[in-house]
Structure 1
Amino acid sequence: MSKILIRGAKVLGHDPQDVLIDGETIAEVGTGLTAEGAEVVEAEGKVLLPGLVDLHTHLREPGREDSETVLTGTRAAASGGFTAVFAMANTFPVADTAGVVEQVYRLGRDHGYCDVQPIGAVTVGLEGRKLAELGAMHESAAGVTVFSDDGKCVHDAVIMRRALEYVKAFGGVVAQHAQEPRLTEGAEMNEGVVSAELGLGGWPAVAEESIIARDVLLAEHVGSRVHICHLSTAGSVEIVRWAKSRGIDVTAEVTPHHLLLTDELVRTYNPVYKVNPPLRTERDVLALREALADGTIDIVATDHAPHPHEDKDCEWAAAAMGMVGLETALSVVQETMVDTGLLTWAGVAERMSAKPAEIGGADGHGRPVSAGEPANLTLVDTAYRGSVDPAGFASRSRNTPYEGRELPGRVTHTWLRGKATLVDGKLT
């Protein structure tokens, strides 16, 4: 591999520095660096971050390749500045055995646009009745440490307790989709003023909050780790904050769309805004931003949920839930957290790279931008501002809530172990 000299980048948003990549590793960081024969990337005014890590991605393969594949999903990830993603288990067949997680793991290695770490199902078939092969998935070539029935809640308290006890033996974590199913039967959007006016089935905040409260207490009782997926309400924030104050080993994530969008958008009846958990109120959005800023919420995760055109271009009630997010995540975080002064770029690196890598055990990712570390890097033109055009997405699906919306920031380069996967905004 040839050497690459990134010249004049604001590393983590700080003073300009040069970064020399030699092979798969950062060789040197400093000012006035030179390297004979190196490819030079002029980065003046741009921000250099560790490669982003997404703890919550749906790649759909195997089984729903009409929505996304590992190849198209990892290309989308590289376009958004990600060098590692964790692939959720709700595929067809479900990733509840060593064989399926190894298939996804190998597909990721073969395609090479970013590292893919499979997440194993907690229960067989995501049915919530019997524990899946947690140990076998952990011992497989994929080395699974994160388990989730995302898309469905592990609603049985006994099953959840057993899962927490099982993963404790090897330092694993259960990532919970917090949704009490009995409280959300027929629910189509956030329960509140807007749902009442539109006559749509309401999705109460307590359906999320009650599961989080139960699970942090179970984690405390067992002495195990629990991670809360796509936290979306102000009440959930307070429960997680309380749990952390007690020393309970809980982490939580928020999606970019829950940091920006509210249930007022559902008045359009555009199914692109139909998502699980639903878009909440402005009060919730502000609470989520504050919690991400103060560390109550640990990370940003995309919940990238691609769907084919026919699953979204239909009446609201019949539409699938979910939004694509890999290619817009960093822009939304800049809009909601950096440009508002709530986070620095160093804070973004912590919440979108270092901490998700730590929670999921993504070796070589989330590391500091310093000599001797793996060259997993993302270069961002933070001064850019432009309209979102899904026609240019690398993802196979186009169900973005931001079409035509102006957002700041543009990832120009992504390097995975020193190999460029994105150059000047174009995939290699």
Structure 2
Amino acid sequence: MAKTLIRGARVFDGHGLTGPRDVTIDGRVIAAEAGEPDEVVEADGLTLLPGLIDAHLHLKGPETLGKLVSYGVTTGLDMASWPASLVQSLREQPGVSDIRSAGLPVIGRGGRHAQFGMPEGAYAGTPEQAGEMVRSRIADGSDYLKLVLEAPGEGGPDQAAAAALVMAAREAGLLTIAHAASAGAYDLAIAIGVDIVTHVPFGEALRPDQVEALAAAGQVVVPTLTMAESISKLRGTRLEDALETVGALHDAGVPILAGTDANAQPGVPPVEYGSSLHRELELLTRAGLTNAEALNAATAGPAQYFKLADRGVVEAGRRADLLLIAGDPLTDLSATRSITRVWVAGVSK
């Protein structure tokens, strides 16, 4: 297997940049020792980051993965795609972004997502049917369970059914992710104890008691500020409400992950694949995160909370998902856009 020596790069270690050091790629992983390399990449003055992880997107096809990796996004966490054959066809493709997927989400019959033409299996049933629904997702290859929650009376799954799904998923070892785009949906996400909540309310801020409850329960939030920004431009909602919510969550110690809601769905506010994650980092810093915290939200953070133990940091034995950039992203976050080279499981792009 080919070895590549990246010589003299400053490395983002989760807190700051190291002094110049060497990093060796041996096949698919980062090696502990250099040995004799087949290629040397001179990286003096450059910065080496873990490959970026978008913690909320929607797959479209093979072109999606190529576009993601061109912007240094080496892992994409898909939050709803079907049929299962589409997801399986996009897994473990060499040289493009690696994916995990919720597969078919769980929705209510009267909610907005019912307009997207999902198959019958997407609709929440009774609490007694929760175990069967979770087993079906696992059989289809879903990596986690995604529930689309709505405020009471707005057509989403009812609390009893949603709570039963969370319990069944947890018993089966699956993480649970809740779409919640309103304060009312957040109340439900908190009540049923999902692991991760994606989005923040669009056009309103979370209440202080909700922020406190999320922090106390150890729940994680993927705010998708790029989607909030897109909605604000189309519908006139206040992006400042979303930024205020993220700032309050951050101050309360709620873990924040970087996700964009990148999609190509007709009728949905547009968010571009790949480039939007760099914008998400910028918006996170506007909300109060430091540059280092924003970078963690797109690297070690999602790797930790989505249980991807093989990536997210530049360490020996980890998957060689790496991003080489010009500049110092801790002083100028736009440096993440100055991409020199990307590796996905050791494959150079």
Q: TM-score, normalised by structure 1?
A: 0.64
The CA distance in 2 between the partners of 1:229 and 1:340, in whole Å, is 16
Choose from 314, 337, 346 the match for 1:418. Answer: 346
Indicate the larger mover: 51-60 or 323-332.
323-332
SS at match of 1:159: helix
Partner residue in 2 for 1:242: 212
Distance 1:369 1:102 in 2: 33
Aligned residues: 320
Cα shift at 1:110? 3.9
Q: Deviations over 1:333-366 (max 9, x none)?
A: 4534569984243x23421122222333335222
Root-mean-square deviation (Å): 3.4
In the TM superposition, residue 137 of structure 1 has moved relative to its aligned partner by 2.5
Structure 2 unaligned spans of 5+ = 108-119
Partner of 1:168 in structure 2? 170
1:357 aligns with 2:307: no
The aligned residue for residue 106 of structure 1 is: 89
Conserved in 1, the CA contact under 8 Å of 2:9 and 2:46? yes
Partner of 1:222: none
- Specify the alignment match of 1:393 in structure 2: none
Q: 1:356 to 1:287 in 2, by over 3 A?
A: same
Aligned to 1:257: 226
Kindly indicate whether the alpha-carbon contact (under 8 Å) linking 1:253 and 1:299 is maintained by their aligned counterparts in 2: yes
d(CA) in 2 for partners of 1:129 and 1:260? Answer: 34
Separation in 2, partners of 1:250, 1:9: 35
2:30 to 23, 26, 40: 26
Q: Distance in 2 between matches of 1:256 and 1:105?
A: 29
Which residue of 1 is the match for residue 101 of structure 2? Answer: 118
CA contact (8 A) 1:83 1:113 kept: yes
Say if 1:57 and 1:302, in contact at 8 Å, map to a contact too: yes
Q: How far does residue 303 in structure 1 lie from its aligned partner after superposition?
A: 0.6
Is 1:144 matched up with 2:143?
A: yes
Deviation at 1:235, TM superposition (A): 3.1
Match runs of 1:217-296 below 5 Å: 217-219=191-193, 225-232=194-201, 235-236=205-206, 238-246=208-216, 248-257=217-226, 263=232, 266=233, 273=234, 279-289=237-247, 291-292=249-250, 295-296=253-254
Work out whether 1:298 is the aligned partner of 2:256. Answer: yes
Q: Which residue matches 1:374? A: 319
Select which of 384, 389, 409 maps to 2:336: 409
Q: Quick one: structure 1 residues 236 and 155, their matched pair in 2 at CA, closer, same or farther if it must change by over 3 Å?
A: farther
SS at match of 1:373: coil
Q: Summarize the Cα distance change of 1:333–1:381 in structure 2 as closer, same or farther, 3 Å threshold.
A: farther
Partner of 1:394: none
When the two structures are superposed, what TM-score results if normalisation uses the length of structure 2?
Answer: 0.77
> Retained in 1: the 8 A contact 2:183–2:201?
no
- Deviations 1:226-263 (Å, cap 9, x if unpaired)? 321111467337455312443x2421112242686783
Q: Percent identity, aligned pairs only?
A: 24
Residues 51 and 281 (structure 1), Cα distance of their counterparts in 2 relative to 1, 3 Å cut: closer
Shift of 1:58: 0.9
Are 1:73 and 2:19 matched, yes or no? Answer: no
Displacement of 1:150 in angstroms is 8.2
Partner residue, 2:111? none
3-state DSSP of counterpart to 1:299: coil
Q: Which amino acid aligns with 1:327?
A: G
SS at match of 1:329: helix
Contact 2:321 2:346 in 1 (8 A): yes
Unaligned runs of 5+ in 1: 61-68, 180-207, 220-224, 267-272, 312-319, 385-406, 423-428
Paired residues of 2:7 and 2:44 also in contact (CA < 8 A): yes
Deviations along 1:59-78, one digit per CA (max 9) or x if unpaired, are 13xxxxxxxx1x11111111
The secondary structure found in structure 2 opposite 1:109 is coil
Letter in 2 for 1:212: Y
Contact 1:25 1:418 survives alignment (8 Å): yes
